[in-house]
Structure 1
Amino acid sequence: MARPPETGLDPGSETGTVADSDRIPALPGDRGRMATRLWNLVLGLATRLGFSREWWLLVVAAGVGLIMGVAGYLFIKPIQWLEHMAEELGTESPSTLLWLLPIVPVIGAVLTGLLAWRCPTEFKGHGVSNVIYGVIRKQSRLRLRLLVRQWIGSTLTIGSGGSAGPEGPIVTIGAVIGSNLARLLRLDAKSGTTLLGCGAAAGLASVFNAPIAGIFFVLEVLLRDFSLRTFTPIVIASVLAAATTQSILGSNEPLFGVGPEFFANSPVPFTIGMTPAFVVFGIACGLVAVLFIRTMQWSEHCFSRIPVPDALRPGVGALLLGILGVAYMLLVAPRGTDLTSDPVPPFFGNGYMVIMRLLDPDSYVDAEGSMIADGTGVVIGILLLLVVLKIISTSLTLGSGGAGGLFAPALVVGAIIGSMFGLAVAQTGWFPGASPAHFALVGMAAMVAATTHAPMTGVMLVYEITQTYSLIVPLMLCAVLSVIVGRLFYRESVYTAELAAAGIRVGGSTDLTVLRQLTVRDVPLMPPVTVRPDDSGQRLLDLSERFAVSDFVVVDEQDNYLGMVTGTDLQAALVFREAIPLLQVNEIERTDLPSMVLDDTLDVALDRFSEHDAASLAVLSRPGDGRVIGVLTRTRLMREYQHALAES
């Protein structure tokens, strides 16, 4: 089977013509034919101007960045408006809000569940996990229904009080836009993966005004590919998205998050004497991250066993969240401290109001009305309670099937733990010049790093938000330590845990990245030599000598795949050569060998070769079709893999 032609512009063209694989087929109707001619004209012009496939991809990446800069703004603003309405209602009529706490989240969650029921996805996971699944199993092809589900569902979930963040959804939205734009432009799998990463990075850069963090998140978490061919378009998309959003806002502050003004006048010198404290803090963040991930898993397992329809299951979690919110407002909020003065429970929504308070150094000044006015011990106790409540509320919201991201809850938990640790250190008088706000900031980076297993993402995100370089050393130290400790106690991140539970191996090397960009269709297949179950062993020997093969495909009367006879099995039968004429195929047939389809990625094929210790596997044209169209051999797979590595 010949190698299929690559799509994209033909970099070797000297005549300025467009390769046949680049031309799109004529669309129906007059407008369709006009669009076809226009697109082919654009491709031809780009070729004449000297744009190779890589340069053309940079232009498309820039377009993705501009689109996501606008999309990020349009996505976040409704969520902010709904949260502002809740705060106003809680300030003007606290009793009304108290009655609505167990009702509004349920309404938003049920609507989210119904939306998920109407827009199902192949992999039942949260947004970023769905994107990772698309990268490693579907050649970065994401359906538009995932965008609809994440955009509307997360707005309903977060806007109604669910404990989740908008970063995961905007990453997913950007990934879907990039993936479908690649499909529209008929780009190959490698370019499609790059555009998916461009959209995801641009989304995160847009909402946080953190283009570097967006780049590292995609490279560390989604693609795990640091090649220059992938890196350059993602940089362009991320930078343009952040610039577009800031142009719309008319300021340099992040659209959603904490700005650098909190640390403008509060520098903190990092000395060697502070190292032990930050080492202990990094270890603590790693342990809490493991608790966070395991609680999420346990919650998903418990909710999956509740005998209610899937569409209504998020409502159950929201009801429990509402009851938890009412209990908090009745039992904890009346204490009257600055931490408990919010009109809504602080563990509802994205929790950024809590972060803003904890990152303000003035909150830790011992004055009337401040956070520590009632004593440091009381504040530490309340903060510990908030950590527990935030983890539980996030597990109730997302574990039951709500839509939203895990990024914001990790930031909130990290800020609270950092504040607790900073207050405890301040009591010792160890670092008189350090504010608990500094530890809260470092805690955000460490918790993001430990939950996502992406240390550079955590460091760059917090650095770009605060634009404070003096904390970069403790940020890096705690982020790396928290990841090491987290992986020591639990190998999976908050995103890959869902994939691991489904039996999907993520891996982390460039080799896996190459294998996932290739499918069985890309490998030249051997023609199948078929036999029937009732054929004799002598026929196997005759076919082996005639076609110089050792593996045979066993099919039924309708030519449907049944199993294989491998060379190893045939050699074992030859020990009793005089009995070969009496031997039938079904006596040595292996029915445990799985088949492949043309669209299976090569990492899946390699796993199946290893699991079943086989040298050949039968290939079907598509799932459900039992007819064998070829045989995939381990040797040809590795040859294609080596060829792809040489080209990458």
Structure 2
Amino acid sequence: MVEPARAASRKGLQWILRNDVTKWVFLGILIGIVAGVGSIAFYFLIKLMTGLMLTGITGFVPPEPLGEGGSLAYTLGHYRWYLLPISLAAGGILSGLIVYNLAPEAEGHGTDAAISAFHNNNGKIRRRVPIVKLVASAITIGSGGSAGREGPTAQIAAGFGSFVADVFSLNDHDRRIAEAAGIGAGIGSIFMAPLGGALLSTEILYRRDFEVEALIPSIIASVVGYSIFGYLFQYRPIFYTDPSFLFFERPESLLAYALVGILAGLLGKVYVNVFYGIQGLFRKWNITRFAKPAIGGLLVGLIAIKFPQVLGLGYGWVQLLLNENLYLMPLYILIILIFVKIVATSLTIGSGGSGGVFAPGIVIGSFFGAAMGIILHPLFPYLNIVEFTIVGMISFFGGVSKAPISVLIMGTEMTGSFALFLPLMLSTTLSYFASGVNTSIYRAQVLDRAHSPAHAAEYERPIMDQVPVYKAMRTEFNYVTPDDDLRSALPKLRETRTKNLLVMNGHSLKGILSLDMIKSGMDVNSLKVSDVMSTDVPTIRYDANIHEALDRLIRSDRGILAVIDEDNTTVKGIIGLPDIAEAYNREIRRIKHELMQGEG
């Protein structure tokens, strides 16, 4: 009984994986389950490490967003501020020991590592990396490090996508898609933003392109992951916002939002330059690697003595701003916090600590937005700080991540409101351009598919030069003879797409007849084709390539070329732009099939 059941299971699995639809539904569900369960495990591990390290050592309890059980009645209270450097240094050294002894590639922010694996390693991620990343990041964040939880979660699910590709013997192409779906599912789950997460998996790989093939698997995985993780919080958005505070009804307010978007983009350039500048300094520093995160943590701890808002994820501080609770963050503090949070994040992750850059980006953007709201309120009294905070945090990270569309969607999901959708569209787009196409917090991104090693084979061949004309030409076509009268030729002319017909005797080329050669007032009954035809016929040899054919068609006004034999008079067929396009698409499909067969 056991052996027949196994044989039936193998047969069923083969059937599932043979069909694209069933394959990606099946794999998407598996990846989504791991993303959701991994998010839960990571969430509680961070809570545990925070209780043991940051709160356990110093007594400091960071605020939390309402969507995750936080409260608006937050006060700093009494805590052992002088022990903050100890907590962060301890977290840094523990994280460094774990990462550099078990999986050095798990240092830094995990999303960038997952992007790099997609482009440069066929989506392959070592199996130990997600576990090492999860533990090391929980220690970094739990000790107070300024880092996010989305990068590790993305790497956990992306690593599982790579794992299932190996288990089911998928080719490199499918492994990359599974890995990208993992990125989307991990981020969509932990942020409780399933649509934004799914879109992010296609957009975050490039600075000016999308990995469209990953969208459907990512949607399936993200929905499943969100359904599992969101159950903990009754599917509430992370941040609670009062709907009465959010509205758009005055178009002149777009001037304020446009200014916020432009300045957010410029601030994004500062963030990226400081982050990679500090990372570069630590990498040049010739000391034991695992000591570097400890030094980074120590410096963040010293900053946190005066500015505890830089500690940990920082979502609780965003929540306070979204409820206009500014007693701990007046304008001058907000302005300082923008820059000290940038430095703290750069020290935490740039020194080799483990964690993501998404959450710090959201927090920096919210500090910036709230500060802009206070500054611009006298000029735009009908706008409130909550609106500026949301626009600031989304436009800032949408620009610096080079993923404006998906971050825009995620922002509306995280706040539970689409009321500011139009201002967010404007400000995030302006931030994207103001920050510059080469400025991204994700260094592993490439410009577009043509610049990705993963797609090199699709672009490195001059495809049109490889396709001969005889593979694209039509051998069945209408033509006329020189002795045909114009009346009988006219219906054939009007039926053609290009309004041109070859004039032939048998297979011998005599000329070309075009509708524009038949002038008004001509006696079509008495005139023959030979009386009006042109003998200047655009031709192409049958053994030329379709690139040459395209070039000649562009320079000709006839719309077709006569395909001729070596003797330059015998017609083998005709070719036009539609024929070239179809031959090109056919060759692309053939190359992709070859690649997938080879990778399999």
TM-score by length of 1: 0.65
Please give the per-residue CA displacement for 1:415-461, whole angstroms capped at 9, x wherever unaligned: 01100111111123x2x332111110011111111121000122111
**1:234 counterpart letter in structure 2:** S
Deviation at 1:56, TM superposition (A): 1.9
1:231 to 215, 222, 228: 215
Query: Aligned residue for 2:268?
Result: 289
Q: For 2:416 and 2:335, how far apart are their aligned partners in 1?
A: 28
Cα deviation, residue 314, structure 1 = 0.8
Q: Kindly tell me: are residues 182 and 423 of structure 1, through their superposed partners in 2, closer, same or farther at Cα, counting changes over 3 Å?
A: same
Conserved 8 A contact 1:139-1:517: no
Deviation sequence 1:601-631 (CA, Å, 0-9, x none)? xxxxxxxxxxxxxxxxxxxxxxxxxxxxxxx
- Tell me by how many angstroms 1:467 deviates: 2.3
1:517 offset after TM fit, Å? Answer: 7.7
1:467 is the counterpart of 2:407: no
Match of 1:437 in 2: 386
Choose the corresponding residue for 2:343, options 368, 377, 392: 392
Aligned with 2:133 (options 136, 146, 150):
150
Task: Name 2:311's counterpart in structure 1.
Answer: 348
CA deviation digits over 1:17-40, x for unaligned, max 9? xxxxxxxxxxxxxxxxx89x8766
Please list the CA deviations of residues 289-342 of structure 1 after superposition, one character each: whole Å capped at 9, or x if unmatched.
11000001110111123231111111111111122222x16xxxxxxxxxxxxx
Residues 184, 325 of structure 1: alpha-carbon distance in 2 compared, 3 angstrom cutoff? same
Determine the structure 2 residue equivalent to 1:405.
356
For the 8 Å contact 2:108–2:354, the answer to whether it is kept is no
| Residue 44 (str. 1) matches residue 14 (str. 2) | no
Counterpart check, 1:192 vs 2:198? no
Aligned to 1:215: 198
Confirm or deny: 8 A CA contact 1:279 1:481 kept in the other structure.
yes
Equivalences for 1:33-72 in 2 at 5 Å? 41-46=8-13, 52-72=19-39
Distance 1:383 1:185, change over 3 A: same
What residue in structure 2 maps to residue 165 of structure 1?
A: 148
Following the alignment from structure 1 to structure 2, what is the Cα–Cα distance between the partners of residues 143 and 299?
27
Q: 3-state DSSP class of the match of 1:155?
A: helix
- Measured in 2, the distance between the counterparts of 1:195 and 1:352 equals 30
Q: Given the superposition, is the C-alpha separation of residues 227 and 282 from structure 1 closer, same or farther in structure 2, using an over 3 Å criterion?
A: closer
The answer to whether the Cα contact below 8 Å between 1:79 and 1:158 also exists between their aligned partners in 2 is yes
Judge conservation of contact 1:270–1:471 (CA < 8 Å) in 2.
no
Hey, what does 2:296 align to over in structure 1?
Answer: 317
Letter in 1 for 2:173: K
Tell me: CA distance 1:225–1:510, structure 2 relative to 1, closer, same or farther (3 Å). Answer: farther
Describe the superposition over 1:136-168 as per-residue Cα deviations: whole angstroms up to 9, x where unpaired: 111101102221221011001000011101011
Between the aligned partners of 1:433 and 1:275, the Cα distance in structure 2 is 12
1:298 to 277, 301, 307: 277
Q: Distance in 2 between matches of 1:122 and 1:49?
A: 34
8 Å contact kept, 1:417–1:440: yes
Q: Could you say if the C-alpha distance between residues 121 and 433 of structure 1 is closer, same or farther in structure 2, counting changes exceeding 3 Å?
A: same
Tell me how far 1:185 sits from its aligned partner: 1.1
CA contact (8 A) 1:515 1:641 kept: no
Q: Is 1:507 aligned with 2:490?
A: no
Larger Rg: 2
Q: Are 1:106 and 2:89 counterparts?
A: yes
Q: Secondary structure at the match of 1:405?
A: coil
Which deviates more, 196-205 or 388-397?
196-205
Distance in 1, matches of 2:211 and 2:304, equals 47
Q: CA deviation at 1:45?
A: 2.3
Which residue of structure 1 aligns with residue 60 of structure 2? 90
Distance 1:87 1:264, change over 3 A: farther
Structure 2: distance between partners of 1:98 and 1:435: 33
Mark the CA change 1:73 to 1:512 in structure 2 (over 3 Å): closer, same or farther: same
- CA deviation after TM superposition for structure 1 residue 644, in Å: 3.1
Q: What is the RMSD of the two structures over their aligned residues, measured on CA atoms?
A: 3.1
User: Deviation at 1:41?
Assistant: 3.5
- 1:352–1:43: structure 2 CA closer, same or farther, 3 Å change rule? same
With over 3 angstroms needed to count, the CA separation of the structure-2 counterparts of 1:517 and 1:62, relative to structure 1, is farther
> CA separation in 2, counterparts of 1:49 and 1:164?
40
CA 93–515 in structure 1, closer or farther in 2 if over 3 Å, else same: closer
Task: Note the C-alpha offset of 1:90.
Answer: 3.1
Matches within 5 A, 1:512-551: 512=452, 515=455
In 2, Cα distance between the equivalents of 1:128 and 1:470? 30
Task: Give the secondary-structure state (helix, strand or coil) at the position aligned to 1:346.
Answer: helix
| Cα gap change, 1:198 to 1:39, in 2 (>3 Å) | farther
Measured in 2, the distance between the counterparts of 1:253 and 1:81 equals: 22
Aligned to 2:543: none
Call closer, same or farther: CA 1:134–1:40 in 2, change over 3 Å: farther
Match of 1:495 in 2: 442
Aligned residue in 2 for 1:358: 321
- The alpha-carbon distance between structure 1 residues 487 and 227, as it changes in their structure 2 partners (threshold 3 A), is closer
Contact 1:314 1:397 in 2 (8 A): yes
8 A contact 2:261–2:426 mirrored in 1: yes
SS at match of 2:60: helix
- Per the alignment, in what secondary structure is the counterpart of residue 378 of structure 2? helix
Question: 1:543-587 deviations in whole A, cap 9, x for unaligned?
Answer: xxxxxxxxxxxxxxxxxxxxxxxxxxxxxxxxxxxxxxxxxxxxx
CA distance in 2, matches of 1:642, 1:178: 26
Partner of 1:269: 248
SS across alignment from 1:101: helix
**Counterpart-to-counterpart distance in 2, 1:50 and 1:506:** 30
1:10 aligns with none
The answer on whether the counterparts of 2:106 and 2:129 sit within 8 Å (CA) in structure 1 is: no
Give the aligned residue type for 2:263: A
Task: Name the aligned partner's letter for residue 211 of structure 1.
Answer: P
2:321–2:389 contact (8 Å) kept in structure 1: yes
Contact 2:194 2:223 in 1 (8 A): yes
Shift, 1:51, TM fit: 6.0
Unpaired runs of 5+ residues, structure 2, are: 62-74, 461-585
CA distance in structure 2 between the aligned counterparts of 1:228 and 1:296, rounded to whole angstroms = 30
Residue 482 (str. 1) matches residue 420 (str. 2): no
C-alpha distance in 2 between matches for 1:394 and 1:424: 25
Contact 1:453–1:493 (8 Å) recurs in 2: yes
Cα distance, 1:266–1:421 mapped onto 2, change above 3 Å: same
One-letter identity of the residue aligned with 1:69 = G
CA change 1:115–1:484 in 2 (3 A) is same
| Deviation sequence 1:178-209 (CA, Å, 0-9, x none) | 11111111111121111112221111111111
TM-score, normalization by structure 2:
0.70
Distance 1:144 1:413, change over 3 A: same
Which residue of 36, 45, 61 corresponds with 1:78? 45
Equivalent residue for 2:226?
242
SS at match of 1:443: helix
**Could you tell me whether the CA contact under 8 Å between 2:154 and 2:184 is conserved in 1?**
yes
